[in-house]
Each structure stands twice: as structure tokens, then as C-alpha cells.
Amino acid sequence: MKFSVKIAVIFTALGGVACTTLSKTPVKSIDIYVKPYYSAEKGKAQNVFVHNQLDPMLRENTLNGYQRAVKFVEENSARISPITLFTLSARAYDFGLRDEAVKWFYRGQNRLITALYVLDLPKASIAENTGFSQIVGQFINPYAFCDLNKQRQLAEEAINWVIAHPYEIVLMKALPSKFQDRHSALKVAEAKLKVRLKEQEAFFADPKNKEKWQQERLENDVNERFCW
């Protein structure tokens, strides 16, 4: 299944949920299957194939293994892929670290947005990355938007992190780019992240938009499922 960048961005902005089963049962884990990168069931990772050094740590299904993976990512952030960050987010959620899950998801999504803006990637690669983003996002975003103030803070922190920790892959000449000056293009992409956040703020500043958004969450039992 293919997903577009536009779909992933809009999905995050609205904090919606795309799950087909409208159950009121609290969602305690992210049980997904994303071939060939990741699969988990009942909160336990079964397959993790996103990074040679991180995979064994995350397959442990222990908090200690997850924390070691986080330490590695923080110390080697320059070449950590968006898909790896989405995987870290899913693992955090399964361990009950849901604010941390939001943090890693937003970092991964922002890194992906900037990479897709600068690089001229094959359609298959775009589909894989944006598809993974949407699949994990259907769990992360409904929780993130339980508290709009906290969500806004985490979103801004994620933008600042992505700007402070540029994705080195974007600047590698081995990969095709849409621009001659990659550094300038990356700065434009980073500025767009800030504009995107301001657009979200403007959306929720409109009482009609906010009321409609809240009603949709109520109708889909989003609060019961994610705001616990």
C-alpha cells in the first residue's frame, strides 16, 4: 500500500486515528506488521530489521534494551533513519513511555519531511517511509493530542532537535537531490517545519475547527482508547 507525504502530514496535524475497529478498549501497545522492517504483537517485538546495532537491543523486549538503544541513537543521531526513529517510538509506547514515544515519532517525521524535500528518492522508498510513518502515527497521534499544550511543546522540541541534529544522509552526494545547494534547501525545509506548526496552531485557534475536531474524537471513542 502506498502513502503520500501529504497524507502523513495532514494526519499528524489533526491528531486523528485511522484504526478500523472502533473499540473503547484502551490501546496499550502498538501491534503492527511492517514488512520487512518491524512487527510486534501484544506489546512484544517479534521482528526488528531497521539498524544492525540497534536491532538486537530492541528484540530483547526489555526496558534496559530499549534504553541502550536510545543512548545509541542520541550518541549517533546523524545517520539514524526516520524508520529507525519510528521503530523506537513504537517500542517506547509498548513500554508505557508514551510521551517519549511522541518525542521519537515527531523527530522521525520531521527528519523524513526534510529528507523528502531535499532528496530525489525513488517512489518505492518514499512509499515505505511515509507508510511506516502513518502506520505508527495512527497510534501516536491520538495519544499526543490528548493534551494540546503538551503536544505543542513536544512538536516544537522535535523541530528544534531535527534542526540541531541534521540528517547527514541528506547532504551526501551519493544520493540524488532536487537542488544544487543541499544546505540551503535543508534550511528551507527546516523553516517549513516551523510554518507547519504555526498552521496547526492557527487551526486550533479557530473555535469551530477545534469543536469539530473534538466531536470527531468523541464519535470515534479516541479519548477512551488513548487518553488514559
- Inter-residue contact 159 to 110 (CB < 8 Å): yes
- Say what the pLDDT of residue 5 is: 35
Domain count, the chain: 1
- pLDDT for residue 114: 98
Cα distance between residue 207 and residue 118, in whole Å:
36
Cα-Cα-Cα-Cα torsion 147, 149, 152, 157, nearest 10 degrees, comes to -100
Per-residue pLDDT tens over the stretch 9-37: 333 334 444 444 457 899 999 999 999 99
Q: What pLDDT shows up at residue 22?
A: 57
Residue 71 domain boundaries: 5-14+22-226
| Rounded Cα–Cα distance for residues 26 and 89 (Å) | 18
The reported pLDDT for the residue numbered 168 is 97
Model pTM above 0.75: yes
Low-confidence ranges of the chain (pLDDT < 50): 1-21
